Structure formats: structure tokens, C-alpha cells
Amino acid sequence: PVELQLERLIRTACQRGMDEDFEVVRKLRMLEDDLWQRGKIHRVVLTGGPCGGKSTVMSDLIQMLSDKNFLVFTMPEIATEMFNWSGGRMWDDFKEEGLADDETWAKLQFEMTSVQMRIEDSIVMMARQSLAKRRMLPEPPRGAVILFDRGVVDNVAYCTEEAWSMVQEELGTTTARLRD
């Protein structure tokens, strides 16, 4: 396995103690950290309608995973957060009548999806850093789990097919790519 080869190479370079090996050792440690983190970050998306039990399940999962020595990160439902940020006006302010509805609604869905994707990327970065920082502990975490209260693809349920097509075009992606 690559990880064992890297560990041996690092140990050998460290034992030699040569100054010129310092940069090599630093780069190898970074590579080793990166390899160790890969496959250690798991994503779980909880989806379902309002009052479907997502929050209850999330609370139970946080406790269970923490007890099993996983680092747990949570991602709130962005639509709810943005609704709260707007003082509850978001839905009314983006509601249109007639043909303009798809374009207006697509603007809102694009913003929600973009915000969610940026926050998800930030959480993944934090999980990687946390794993790298803690991997040398006597009992390193078994991995990191990110629990999502809905995923970006859930946004498709709240707009027409035409509006979602506009969102995908603006994002330069597809539903399958967002899902995966």
C-alpha cells in the first residue's frame, strides 16, 4: 500500500537527519496527510418533507457517530437559513405571477444552491484540516462525517423543470453532478 511506503520513506529520511531532507520530509508529510484524509470524509444527506424527522435523526446520528470516534460536522438547511436571514420575506419577495415566475424563482434557487455549495466546500475543508491535525493522536478519529439537512439537489423540488434548467445552466452543471 502507498501509505506504508510513504511512512517508511518518511522514517528513513528522518533517521538520516540531513538538512537537505527537510523539504522532502515536509512534502512527504503533506502527501501522507492528504492520502490519509481521502476516504475518511463521509457525507450523509438527510432528505424528506417538512416535519419528516430529519432533525431528530440528525441529533441521533451526531451522538452515535461521536461516540464511535468520528468527527461530525453538520450543514443546516440553506432555504431555512436564507428565509431567516430575510426576516421571513424571502418567499413573498421572489413570488411572481405568470411567465416571469420561472426566471425569478430560478434566481432564488441559483442563490440558494450557490450558497449551499460554498458552505459545503468550506465544511469539507474544515473536516480535512481537523483530520490532519488529529491523525497523530493516540486515538485518531476514525474519520469525519458531514451530515446535511437536505442536499443541493433537493432544491429541484421547489421549482419547475424550466426554472431548474436555468439554475443548472447558470451553475454550469447537471443534477447528476450536483448529486454526486
Q: Which three cell numbers mark 18?
A: 540531513
Rounded CA separation 153/44 (Å) = 13
116-137 pLDDT, tens digit per residue, is 999 999 999 999 889 888 888 8
Q: Does the pLDDT at position 89 exceed 80? A: no
Element (H, E) at 34: helix 22-37
Q: Write the DSSP symbol of residue 158.
A: G
- Condensed to tens digits (0 to 9), the pLDDT of residues 15-34 reads 655 555 666 666 667 766 66
CA distance 87 to 89: 6
Q: Is 128 in contact with 37 (CB distance < 8 Å)? A: yes
- pTM given for the model: 0.71
